[in-house]
Amino acid sequence: EYDLDLFQIVAVSHFNMGAMENKGLNIFNSKFVLADTNTATDTDLHRVESIVAHEYFHNWTGNRVTCRDWFQLTLKEGLTVFRDQCFSADMHDEGVQRADDVSLLRAAQFPEDRSPTAHPIRPESYREINNFYTATVYEKGAEVIRMMAAYLGRDGFRKGMDLYFKRHDGTAVTCDDFVAALADSNDIDLSGFARWYAQAGTPQLSVTRVADDAAAITLDFAQHIPETAAKTPCDPVPIPVRLGFLDATGQPVATSLTSGGVLADEHVILMDGAQHRQAFYNSSVMDSNAVLTPSLLRNFSAPVVLEDDLSTTERLHIMAQDTDRFNRWDAAQTLAADAIIAAATGGDRLDADAAALSGAYGKILNEDGLLDAFKASMFALPGISVLESWLKPADPVALYHARRRLQAALGHGLADNIAACLEDSSRQELQASSGGRALLNALLMLGVAASSTQAEDVAAAQVHDKNMTLSQGAVMALNNSLSSARDVGLSVFHDRWQDNALVMEKWFQMESMSVVGGTVDRLKALMQHPSFDPNNPNKLRAVLGAFMSGNPVHFYAEDGSGFDFIADCLIDIDGRNPQISARMVLPLTRMSAYDDRRKAQMIAALQRVNRAKPSNDLAEIVEKALAANS
């Protein structure tokens, strides 16, 4: 419980952060607290709920027990992110929440580990403390807490938290104190997890089957920590691998870790060395020569990049039938990524890949036991920042076009399913719930990508809906379409909401993210719009941040004009708001992922920023990037 009689909040429109947990007076960015169904989407409302919970939970993990020094920032932030993730999973759908958590981790934190600004969740030094508020400290920090919580079990973790508060209420402590409370309360050695606090980099975990063991299913595990710009050690870390096996019908098959041992549907293998071999036994299954499919890293039990030897057929099997919903979602992500990468690199298998995926998606749409929210999450294709990690060098423009082609192919493959859902009666039923609205928008996106006249007509009409989820979802579906409905939709949305500052941020964002209309010249015009405020961080993120993260065709334009434009904007912003300029420069610093031409353009843009004598915040990031690529 909160320990004050009055819990006060203030909403601030010009605020760099999402919120801040000051004792007795929480400060919120107005975007993350002022919301209703007319002006905010269902996703926005969930985000508001999560952020309010996060700041409230900070009263214990951050205020009553706080950090001894800035180096311990993940002590409160990683732990409180984990707490708000658990809260959101309880409030909504656990499978969808886990997919959202991992999507953010892969899109924001994994690229950070590969970048010039890589650092452990507990860094050893800093130049500007504002630059400490990173996806690594927050999101990876939460994953490290999650690993220990899963390893200890629900009751064991609760015992550890109780001891942590009993020992340290009213004091300022360290990450080591937290881990010690978990270990002491359970009489267990957790010292190996200290390496997660001290080392940067995303572990690469490979799991392969050993073919020559007829008496058991034997898996070989190996881990590798890549070198990072942080130059921290690359020692093996403890990785809890949660796994099970599926039969041909998708049912779990019980196995034991020793011959004749206790059978269980699922095991957690704690891998704490560079290599490990583990056998799994079930004599009746082995005697029948049944083919079992490994379901690996269930619920994403560790923040690693997994490499395995599963076939496309096995992934489709997991996608369609696994009892672990995260792994169903993740199998779809891997299959979609494979298809996009093949298409982006000149392969000719897109039609076959899309047909296989469409078949699996069709079964999911017709599965009565799944919530609409989970069905919708299955259709979210991997983002460009995630796909880039699969290619060296990466071509974000080619990846965008390949991704769009897959959307169109899926729209054609699922045409009958989409048409049925867009019929009046089905559509009205879907519009009545948040999960249904999410699914409707996902199918609308595929239908418009496939140039379905029905989908375009539904989207054009849905733009006028009073529910923001439906209205914005329709504009988003049209946003990269060459149809005239796109311009009409954006115009209708603008005219309806031009007097609402928060909703206009959505319009700015959609305009900036459009590969059809979001050119540099269009962004310059947007920044002269009466509703744009160059001193408002939300407006800057809505135009420039959305452009860099969501418009690869123009940000990564072949002539380098996107980089030059952003460099000019950063120089201008830095004089007013160094925190924002330092955060916004990050996409420009990740040039090692690209070819020599694009890399040279990004370096030139950063050099121009550096010559402008930037603030300490911005200079730290720019100088690290230039030094790493000198």
- Closest by CA to 92, choosing from 57, 59, 53, is 53
The per-residue pLDDT for range 544-562, each reduced to its tens digit, is 999 999 999 999 999 999 9
Tell me which residue of 179, 220, 228 sits closest to 203, measured CA to CA.
228
Q: Is 367 noted as a catalytic residue in this protein?
A: no
Q: Residue 565's pLDDT is what?
A: 98
CB-based contact 505:544 (threshold 8 Å): no
Closest by alpha carbon to 560, among 515, 604, 621?
A: 604
In this prediction, residue 2 carries a pLDDT of 86
Query: 65-198 — its CATH code?
Result: 1.10.390.10
pLDDT band at 235 (very low <50, low <70, confident <90, very high): very high
Contact 301, 326 (CB under 8 A): no
Contact 197, 140 (CB under 8 A): no
Q: What mean pLDDT do residues 52-63 have?
A: 96
**Which band of pLDDT confidence, cut at 50, 70 and 90, is reported for residue 630?**
confident
Question: For 308, how many CA atoms within 13 A lie in the half-sphere containing its CB?
Answer: 19
Residue 214 has pLDDT above 80, yes or no: no
Angle at 397 between CA 387 and CA 621, to 5 degrees: 70
Interacting residues of 347 by C-beta distance below 8 A, sequence separation 6+: none
Average pLDDT, the chain: 96
Q: Inform me whether the pLDDT recorded for 286 exceeds 80.
A: no
Overall average pLDDT of the 216-220 stretch? 95
Mean pLDDT for the stretch of residues 299-312: 97
pLDDT at 283: 83
Report how far residue 353's alpha carbon sits from residue 412's, in angstroms, rounded to the nearest whole number.
13
Count Cβ neighbours within 10 Å for each residue of 240-252 and write b for 16 or more, e otherwise.
bbbbbbbeeeeeb
Band (pLDDT 50/70/90 cuts) for residue 527 is: very high
DSSP labels for 191-237? Answer: GGGHHHHH--S--EEEEEEETT-SSSEEEEEEEE----TT-------
Q: For residue 126, what pLDDT band results from cuts at 50, 70 and 90?
A: confident
User: What confidence tens digit (pLDDT) does each residue in 91-121 have?
Assistant: 999 999 999 999 999 999 999 999 999 999 9
For the four alpha carbons of 369, 373, 378 and 379, in that order, the dihedral sign comes to positive
Catalytic residue chosen out of the listed positions 21, 55, 77, 112: 55
Amino acid 408: pLDDT: 98
Q: Domain extents for the chain?
A: 65-198, 204-309
User: What is the average per-residue pLDDT within 187-197?
Assistant: 96
User: CA-based diameter of the chain, in Å?
Assistant: 74
Task: Mention every residue, 6+ apart, whose C-beta is less than 8 A from residue 133.
Answer: 17, 73, 77
CA distance 330 to 261: 31
What is the mean predicted confidence (pLDDT) over 355-373?
Answer: 95
Residue type for 180, please?
A
Rounded Cα distance, 527 and 138, in Å: 31
Please name the residue that has the structure tokens 């921290």. 232
Q: Quick one: pLDDT band at residue 191, thresholds 50, 70, 90? A: very high
Give the strands of the sheet with 204-210, arranged side by side: 275-280, 217-224, 204-210, 305-308
CA distance 428 to 615: 53
CATH class of 204-309: mainly beta
Distance CA 324, CA 312 (A): 18
Question: Is-contact 479 441, C-beta < 8 A?
Answer: no
Residue 600: alpha-carbon gap to chain centroid = 29
Q: Cα-flanking dihedrals φ and ψ of residue 452, to 5°?
A: -70, 125
Helix (H) or strand (E) holding 268: strand 266-271
370 and 364 Cβ atoms separated by less than 8 Å: yes
- 58 residue type, one letter: H
On the question of pLDDT at 376 being above 90, the answer is yes
